[in-house]
C-alpha cells in the first residue's frame, strides 16, 4: 500500500508530480511493493472532442521516455506478450515495430489506426491511451541481436512459494496498453495483434483495472482488492535520485541503446481473498502495519493519515513493537532493503472463480527500474522470506523486459536498438 500521492488536478504538465488513484499492491505485495506514482493528466483535452473531458484527455506518444511509465495510472489496462515467428529476424522485427509506431501515433491522438483498424472505438476520444513496449530476453537471439542483449536482462531467480505458469509470463515482445475506457484499450491491443499477424503471435493476455478518475468526491489514493489504501510510499519524480532508480544510463553493463529506457518486472499475483477476508480487522492491520480506515501507521494518533511517518521503533505499553516484526510496511521499507526502490504501477484483476470456488483475483504487478538486480530481486527476496503478507499471496506468472527509451518525432519504437 505504500506508493504515490493523491491527485489534485491542479493543472500540472504531464511531467509534473501527482499521485495516483491506482490499484497496485501494498508496499511490496510480496513482490517489492505496488501501486504507482503518477503525474497530472495532460491538459490537452478539447471541449469539442469526442467523449467529453475524460474521453478527450490525450497523452503525447513522442517523448524522452515511453508514455505509460510516468503518466497517471489509467482506469483500465491490457497487458500482453507476443512471441516472434520462426525466421522473422532483425528486419521483420524492425518492420513490425514501425507498424506499431504508426498505429500508436494515431490511436493515442484519438484517430483511426487505418491499417488493421477494427472501428471498435470509433465513438471514443483518446481516453489517455498509452502504449508501452518492452523486449524479452529471447527476442535478442531470435532477431539476431544477441550481442545487444543487456546483462541485466538475465532470468529472475526463483523465489520461495513461486507457482509460476510459463504460459502466462515471459514472451519476446511485451505491451502495456492503458486507457480510461476499456473498449479503447481492447481496441488498441486488437490493432497491434492484427498488425503482428505472421510476424508475432499472442502468447498471453491479462486485463486489469484501477479506480476511474472522478469516481470519488475528492481526489484520494485508491484501495486494492484487500481493501487497503494502496499507494503511499512510491518514489516520486522530483525526489533526489528518482531518475537513477527508474531509468537506465549507458555504462559498463548497460548498453547505450537502452539509455533513457528502463526495465519492467511483471508479476501476476493472486490474492487469497477468502483467507484474508476471514481475518478480523485488527489482524489485517497488523499484517500490513497500517490502519485500514485511513492508511495511517499503527500507533499513529487519531486524525493521522497515510502520510504520517512510520515509526518502526514505536512500542506499546507491554514493550512489544507497535508495528510487528513481519508487518508489510516494515519488511518492505527501503531502509530495510539497502535503499532498493522501484516505480510501481499495478492494476487489480478479477477473472472469476477457480475450480475450488476461490476468487481468481489479485494484482497485475508492474515495476519500472534502472536495474532489476538492484531493485526487484533483492526486495522480493526479503519479502518472500519475512513478510507476513506473503501468506496471502501467490505469484503465478512473471516476466522481465527491457523497455527502450521514448520515440522522437519521426522515429519508431526501439529504433535505438537497431541504430
**Worst-scoring range by mean pLDDT, 18-22, 303-307, 316-320, 394-398?**
18-22
Lowest mean pLDDT among 69-73, 130-134, 258-262, 267-271: 69-73
Q: What average pLDDT does range 250-267 have in this prediction? A: 96
* pLDDT > 70? residue 8: no
pLDDT at 3: 38
Note the pLDDT of residue 337: 77
Confidence check: pLDDT of 28 > 50: no
Asked, for residue 60, whether it belongs to a domain, the answer is yes
Residue 25: which pLDDT band, with cuts at 50, 70 and 90?
very low
Instruction: Assess if residue 187 is contained within a domain.
Output: yes
Query: Which pLDDT tens digit goes with each residue over 311-360?
Result: 999 999 999 999 999 999 999 887 777 778 899 999 999 999 999 999 99
Give the pLDDT confidence of 280-312 residue by residue, as tens digits: 999 999 999 999 999 999 999 999 998 899 999
Tell which wins on pLDDT, 321 or 27: 321
Decide if pLDDT at 107 tops 60. yes
Whether 2 is covered by a domain: the verdict is: no
Residue 24 to residues 164, 220, 227: CA-CA distances in angstroms? 20, 14, 12
Average pLDDT over residues 47-75: 85
- Determine, yes or no, domain membership for 205: yes
Identify the active-site residue in 170, 180, 230, 371. Answer: 230
174-212 tens-digit pLDDT: 999 999 999 999 999 999 999 999 999 999 999 999 999
Whether 3 is in a domain gets the answer no
**Residue 6 within a domain:** no
**What is the percentage of the chain residues whose pLDDT exceeds 90?**
77
Q: Is 147 a catalytic residue?
A: no
> DSSP letter at 297?
B
If one compares 21 and 130, the residue with the highest pLDDT of the two is: 130
Asked whether residue 9 is domain-assigned, the answer is: no
Residue 27 lies in a domain: yes
pLDDT at residue 236 in the model: 82
Q: Which domain holds residue 109?
A: 17-418
pLDDT of residue 336: 73
pLDDT digits (tens, 9 = 90+) for 368-377: 999 999 999 9
Number of folded domains that form the chain: 1
Residue range 215-232, pLDDT digits in tens: 888 877 889 999 998 767
Lowest mean pLDDT among 39-53, 135-149, 186-200, 385-399: 39-53
**Average pLDDT of the chain to the nearest whole number:** 88
If one compares 18 and 246, the residue with the highest pLDDT of the two is: 246
Amino acid at each position: 500500500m505504500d506508493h504515490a500521492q493523491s491527485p489534485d488536478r491542479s493543472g500540472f504538465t504531464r511531467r509534473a508530480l501527482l499521485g495516483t488513484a491506482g490499484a497496485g499492491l501494498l508496499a511490496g505485495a510480496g513482490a517489492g511493493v505496488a501501486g504507482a506514482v503518477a503525474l497530472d493528466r495532460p491538459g490537452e483535452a478539447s471541449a469539442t472532442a469526442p467523449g467529453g473531458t475524460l474521453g478527450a484527455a490525450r497523452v503525447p506518444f513522442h517523448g524522452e521516455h515511453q508514455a505509460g511509465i510516468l503518466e497517471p495510472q489509467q482506469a483500465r489496462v491490457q497487458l500482453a506478450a507476443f512471441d516472434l515467428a520462426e525466421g522473422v529476424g532483425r528486419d521483420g522485427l524492425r518492420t513490425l515495430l514501425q507498424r506499431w509506431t504508426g498505429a500508436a501515433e494515431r490511436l493515442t491522438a484519438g484517430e483511426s489506426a487505418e491499417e488493421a483498424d477494427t472501428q471498435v472505438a470509433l465513438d471514443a476520444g483518446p481516453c489517455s491511451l498509452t502504449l508501452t513496449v518492452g523486449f524479452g530476453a529471447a527476442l535478442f537471439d531470435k532477431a539476431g541481436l544477441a550481442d545487444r542483449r543487456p546483462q541485466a536482462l538475465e532470468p529472475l531467480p526463483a523465489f520461495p512459494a513461486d507457482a509460476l505458469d510459463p504460459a502466462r509470463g515471459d514472451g519476446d515482445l511485451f505491451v502495456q496498453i492503458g486507457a480510461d475506457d476499456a473498449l479503447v484499450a481492447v481496441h488498441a491491443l486488437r490493432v497491434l495483434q492484427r498488425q503482428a499477424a505472421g510476424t508475432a503471435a499472442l502468447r498471453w493476455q491479462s486485463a486489469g483495472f484501477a479506480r476511474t478518475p472522478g469516481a470519488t468526491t475528492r481526489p484520494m489514493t485508491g484501495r486494492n482488492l484487500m481493501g487497503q489504501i494502496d499507494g503511499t510510499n512510491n518514489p516520486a519524480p522530483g525526489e533526489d535520485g528518482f531518475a537513477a532508480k527508474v531509468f537506465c544510463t549507458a555504462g559498463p553493463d548497460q548498453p547505450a541503446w537502452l539509455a533513457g529506457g528502463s526495465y519492467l518486472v511483471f508479476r501476476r499475483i493472486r490474492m487469497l481473498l477468502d483467507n484474508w477476508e476471514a481475518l478480523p480487522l485488527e489482524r489485517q492491520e497488523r499484517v500490513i502495519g497500517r490502519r485500514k480506515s485511513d492508511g495511517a501507521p499503527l500507533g499513529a494518533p487519531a486524525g493521522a493519515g497515510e502520510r504520517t511517518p512510520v515509526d518502526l521503533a514505536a512500542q506499546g505499553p507491554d514493550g512489544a513493537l507497535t508495528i510487528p516484526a513481519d508487518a508489510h510496511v516494515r519488511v518492505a521499507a527501503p531502509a530495510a532493503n539497502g535503499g532498493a526502490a522501484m516505480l510501481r504501477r499495478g492494476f487489480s484483476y478479477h477473472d472469476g472463480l477457480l475450480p475450488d470456488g476461490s476468487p481468481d483475483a489479485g494484482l497485475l504487478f508492474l515495476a519500472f527500474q534502472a536495474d532489476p538486480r538492484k531493485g526487484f530481486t533483492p526486495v522480493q527476496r526479503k519479502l518472500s522470506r519475512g513478510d507476513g503478507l506473503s501468506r496471502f499471496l501467490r505469484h503465478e506468472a512473471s516476466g522481465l523486459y527491457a523497455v527502450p527509451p521514448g520515440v522522437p518525432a519521426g522515429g519508431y519504437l526501439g529504433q535505438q536498438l537497431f541504430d
